[in-house]
């Protein structure tokens, strides 16, 4: 029986030489040439002026909140259909979470619901490019300009995705990326904060390093964090960037294969790719309609028996037990997607034979 993992990382081979250089030269901590090199190359790739490497995508989001001085008495709007990191970053700064619903076709945040959720206390909006599909940045940027709100772009799932000719990660006040093992560019663990604002970049560098003062070490006037990426991680990132275009091509090729092979199976709704965008399909995902005849959770169990990993969609933030104050928020699309959404194996090592096997498994499950 085949064993197909959910999103196995792809290492191309030249990571070894750069990591060995770190070990041979003893530059293994957060000092070393690869951190700065990774920052600059990733900023250039995304079309940003400044990049600050950190320990994770969650750290990048939390650092963004701190850099923008978001705190108690202020509100941040974010998609309910998202990983918990976005909400936690707001909560850790003592600000209030406001959730907005998802669009039924792209599954990204609904701009109209952002408008409905804005209050005099709203300070910022976090958007997520869900599963690598670019959100409607033109409309969301316009909303933020009209209401004088910070826009934080969570592009953790969307390395290299394109919206109207621009790479994601180039929009808003700050953008954040993750380099976790299942991401298109990986450093094992790691993240990046990007901005075009020199002052914000300097502040991010200071706060990620325990807010040390350059004029007198061990004297602190701000609460900082230890969010430093190691030189070893950055070396892996530099090597990964050498192959990012190949990685994106593989993601899009595999998505096209999935879509073509799934067409004959009724009851499966695919994520829309809006015109003038290029999704990178971090996760290739489906919504299971009643017509399929088998529940999402049963499909996951049956796939597992056949050696195929899979994932349910994120549990909406407003339904999370840790945030009971959000329980009465109205996000029906997010709830529907959370109940019906299924992500299939999406690693860059997938072959056409693997995809054919997965699709055949779905057909068998439907036929009983």
Domain locations along the chain: 15-100+109-241, 244-367
Strand-pairing partners, residue 268, are 288
Helix, strand, or coil (residue 165): coil
- Looking at the DSSP bridge assignments, the partners of residue 188 are 180
CB crowding 57-77: b at 16 or more within 10 Å, else e: bbbbbbbbbbbbebeeebbbb
CA 177 – CA 282 distance, rounded (Å): 13
CATH ID of 244-367, from 3.80.10.10, 3.40.50.300, 1.20.140.10, 3.90.1150.10: 3.90.1150.10
Q: Output the CA–CA distances (angstroms, integers) from residue 280 to 63, 103, 331, in the order listed.
A: 26, 18, 26
> CA 144 to CA 185: how far, in whole Å?
29
Q: Which CATH number fits the domain 15-100+109-241, given the four candidates 3.40.50.10190, 3.30.360.10, 3.40.640.10, 3.50.50.60?
A: 3.40.640.10
| DSSP letter string, 258-284 | HHHHHTTSTTEEEPP--TTEE---SSE
The Cα 17–Cα 265 span in angstroms is 46
Q: Which two tokens stand for residue 236?
A: 């892996």
- Name 277's Cβ contacts closer than 8 Å, sequence gap at least 6: 133, 134, 161, 162, 163, 164
Which residues lie across from 192 on neighbouring strands? 53, 177
This prediction has a pTM of 0.97
Q: What is the pLDDT along the chain (368 residues), one digit of tens a residue?
A: 789 999 999 999 999 999 999 999 999 999 999 999 999 999 999 999 999 999 999 999 999 999 999 999 999 999 999 999 999 999 999 999 999 999 999 999 999 999 999 999 999 999 999 999 999 999 999 999 999 999 999 999 999 999 999 999 999 999 999 999 999 999 999 999 999 999 999 999 999 999 998 888 899 999 999 999 999 999 999 999 999 999 999 999 999 999 999 999 999 999 999 999 999 999 999 999 999 999 999 999 999 999 999 999 999 999 999 999 999 999 999 999 999 999 999 999 999 999 999 999 999 999 98
Q: Would you put residue 210 in left (φ > 0), alpha (ψ -120 to 50) or beta? A: left
pLDDT value of residue 1: 77
At residue 22, the pLDDT reads 98
Which two tokens mark 311?
């994932």
CA gyration radius, the chain: 21
Residues composing the chain: 368
């Amino acid at each position: 029986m085949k064993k197909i993992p959910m999103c196995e990382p792809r290492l191309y081979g030249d990571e070894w030489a750069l990591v060995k250089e770190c070990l041979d030269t003893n530059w293994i901590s957060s000092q070393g040439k690869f951190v700065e090199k990774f920052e600059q190359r990733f900023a250039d790739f995304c079309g940003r002026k400044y990049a600050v490497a950190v320990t994770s995508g969650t750290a990048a989001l939390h650092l963004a909140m701190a850099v923008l001085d978001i705190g108690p008495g202020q509100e941040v709007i974010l998609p309910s259909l998202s990983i918990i990191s976005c909400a936690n970053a707001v909560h850790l700064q003592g600000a209030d979470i406001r959730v907005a619903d998802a669009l039924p076709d792209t599954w990204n945040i609904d701009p109209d619901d952002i408008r409905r959720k804005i209050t005099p206390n709203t300070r910022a909006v976090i958007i997520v490019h869900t599963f690598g599909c670019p959100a409607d940045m033109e409309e969301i940027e316009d909303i933020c300009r009209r209401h004088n709100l910070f826009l934080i772009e969570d592009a953790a799932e969307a390395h290299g995705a394109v919206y109207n000719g621009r790479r994601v990660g180039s929009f808003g006040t700050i953008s954040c990326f993750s380099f976790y093992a299942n991401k298109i560019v990986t450093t094992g663990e790691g993240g990046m904060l990007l901005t075009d604002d020199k002052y914000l970049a300097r502040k991010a560098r200071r706060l990620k390093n325990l807010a040390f003062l350059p004029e007198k070490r061990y004297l602190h006037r701000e609460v900082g964090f230890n969010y430093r990426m190691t030189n070893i991680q950055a070396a892996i990132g530099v090597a990964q960037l050498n192959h990012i275009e190949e990685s994106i091509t593989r993601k899009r090729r595999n998505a096209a294969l999935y879509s073509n092979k799934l067409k004959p199976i009724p009851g499966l709704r695919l994520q829309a790719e809006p015109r003038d965008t290029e999704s990178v399909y971090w996760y290739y995902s489906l919504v299971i309609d009643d017509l399929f005849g088998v529940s999402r959770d049963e499909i996951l169990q049956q796939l597992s028996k056949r050696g195929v990993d899979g994932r349910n969609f994120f549990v909406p933030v407003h339904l999370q037990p840790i945030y009971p104050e959000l329980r009465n928020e109205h996000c029906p699309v997010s709830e529907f997607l959370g109940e019906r959404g299924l992500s299939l194996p999406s690693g860059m090592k997938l072959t056409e034979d693997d995809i054919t096997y997965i699709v055949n498994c779905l057909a068998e499950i439907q036929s009983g």
